[in-house]
Amino acid sequence: QLPSADGVWTDLRLAPEALGEGSTAVDDAAIVVQHGHIVWVGERRALPAAHAQGPQHAGHGALVTPGLIDCHTHLVYGGQRANEFAMRLAGASYEEVARAGGGIVSSVRATRAASEDELFALAAPRLQALLNEGVCAIEIKSGYGLSLEHERAQLRVARRLGEHFGVTVRTTFLGAHALPPEYAGRSQAYIDTVCHEMMPALAAEGLIDAVDVFCETIGFSLAETEQVFRAAQRLSLPVKLHAEQLSDMGGSALAARYGALSCDHIEHLSDAGIAAMKQAGTVAVLLPGAYYFLRDTHLPPIAALRAAGVPMAVSTDHNPGTSPTLSLLLMLNMACTLFRLTVPEAVAGVTRHAARALGLQHSHGQIAVDQPANFVLWPLGEVAELAYWLGQHPQPTVVRQGRITSHP
Ligand SMILES: O=C(O)CC[C@@H]1NC(=O)NC1=O
Ligand SMILES: [Fe+3]
């Protein structure tokens, strides 16, 4: 059992916007935790005497952010795809690798061959690496099973990871990730199976928090995507979308029409897609790891998203094919360096905007009274260091779900 974080945390510096959008930094702050929840936060000199009792936790001047949120991962899978990395070094494109039977389908074979215990054992150290960097909530997709039995296994492992590590896990059903070999050439038949057999069964077992589709030239069409969205709607499941990663399929506008939580990748997002997302309150999830790893050169429309006021999140997109990274802090650096986000935008992208992309904005993503205690104490001089250091990062003290889970 990890030590309780209950008590009074003092000598803290709250980062800008840690208390929510527009909130300012607080240099000498205190946080009071009771029964694993935040009951008070603010300037220490204003701390009510009634709250000042109880165990004392010295912050030693640490910079404090809300717990980080990785809002787009494919964390549960078998095998790895370093061989394709080498193929692409020899000039093969991501699409060519996919059409040659590599890509997602090769991870499907390795995932189907693994038991749930083996999938858990493979995913656990991946999750631990993210937790060590202050991640307190994470989204985990299926999409490497592509059959009822194996999609169920992935989603059960995702739930088990959350219980085992005491971290908030939101599961996303991504049965429409790729066409499994047994449905080669029969895309419509597979989508029918996804909509009428897999999704209802897995939803009934409580394994699905949201539904996603890979809407792309090498994925599923707009019509197939809408068929999946309609099935999700019938089951009252929110949707999100791998959208406009390699081309403008119009997926973002479709997703916005279904009130999507988020559209993700969006390198090829159009002005019409931006307007639709703004209207629907859909979050733009930026995945610089995949952009970098694929040597993409088509930047997402960051300035237009900023001008339109579409909230932007940042995530690892951890997956064995296009973003084999387990550092959300490296993604902060890439979001700034490659996509030109400001530091406050990037930090909001892994806190409150990431929370919104998962429908968790009422319980995660900021330090607020009555919310579960999820916050991170960084031994840093300033918040820009979260995006500045490239590859090596400070070891934070992490309070996750009211427990002190790691400290230097
Ligand atoms: O290559 C993989 O294994 C998944 C790639 C990942 N999935 C997707 O739809 N887009 C991606 O970048
Ligand atoms: Fe992805």
Q: What spacing in Å lies between the alpha carbon of 127 and ligand 1's midpoint?
A: 19
Whole-angstrom distance, CA of residue 406 vs CA of residue 399: 8
Which ligand ends up closest to the CA of 104?
Answer: 1
Average pLDDT over the chain, rounded to an integer: 96
Q: What spacing in Å lies between the alpha carbon of 328 and ligand 2's midpoint?
A: 14
Q: pLDDT tier at 407 (50, 70, 90 boundaries)? A: low
Whole-Å CA distances, 258 to 131, 182, 210, 211, 227: 32, 30, 12, 11, 11
Ligand 1 touching residue 318 (CB < 6 A): no
pLDDT: which is higher, 5 or 54: 5
Section 78-106 average pLDDT = 86
Q: Which residue, among 123, 126, 79, 105, has the nearest Cα to 183 in the 3D structure?
A: 105
Quick: pLDDT tens for 138-175.
999 999 999 999 999 999 999 999 999 999 999 999 99
Which ligand ends up closest to the CA of 317?
Answer: 2
- Report the pLDDT value the prediction gives residue 86, as an integer from 0 to 100: 86
Most ligand 1 atoms within 8 A of CB, residue of 322, 325, 331 to mutate: 322
Q: Which residue, among 281, 288, 286, 257, has the nearest Cα to 269 in the 3D structure?
A: 286
Q: What spacing in Å lies between the alpha carbon of 62 and ligand 2's midpoint?
A: 33
Structure tokens at 268: 């090829």
- Report the pLDDT value the prediction gives residue 408, as an integer from 0 to 100: 60
User: Quick one: which atom of ligand 1 is closest to the CA of 287?
Assistant: 12
- Report the pLDDT value the prediction gives residue 88, as an integer from 0 to 100: 85
Q: Is residue 68 within a helix (H) or strand (E), and if so which, with residue range?
A: strand 68-70
Q: What spacing in Å lies between the alpha carbon of 237 and ligand 1's midpoint?
A: 22
Q: pLDDT tier at 278 (50, 70, 90 boundaries)? A: very high
Helix spans in 166-244 (H)? 187-193, 199-204, 222-234
- Report the pLDDT value the prediction gives residue 336, as an integer from 0 to 100: 98
Whole-Å CA distances, 45 to 29, 50, 342: 8, 13, 32
Quick: pLDDT tens for 101-148.
788 889 999 999 999 999 999 999 999 999 999 999 999 999 999 999
At position 303, the amino acid (one-letter code) is A
Whole-angstrom distance, CA of residue 117 vs CA of residue 129: 19
User: Quick one: which atom of ligand 1 is closest to the CA of 320?
Assistant: 3
Most ligand 1 atoms within 8 A of CB, residue of 76, 88, 96, 177 to mutate: 177
Section 231-253 average pLDDT = 97
Report yes or no on whether pTM surpasses 0.90: yes
Section 67-71 average pLDDT = 98
Which ligand ends up closest to the CA of 111?
Answer: 1
- Report the pLDDT value the prediction gives residue 73, as an integer from 0 to 100: 99
Section 321-346 average pLDDT = 97
Whole-angstrom distance, CA of residue 370 vs CA of residue 353: 19
Buried (b) or exposed (e) across 119-128, using 16+ Cβ within 10 A?
A: bbebbbebbe
- Report the pLDDT value the prediction gives residue 298, as an integer from 0 to 100: 98
Percent of the chain having pLDDT more than 70? 100
State the complex-level ipTM: 0.96
Section 238-264 average pLDDT = 98
φ/ψ of 214, rounded to 5, equals -90, 95
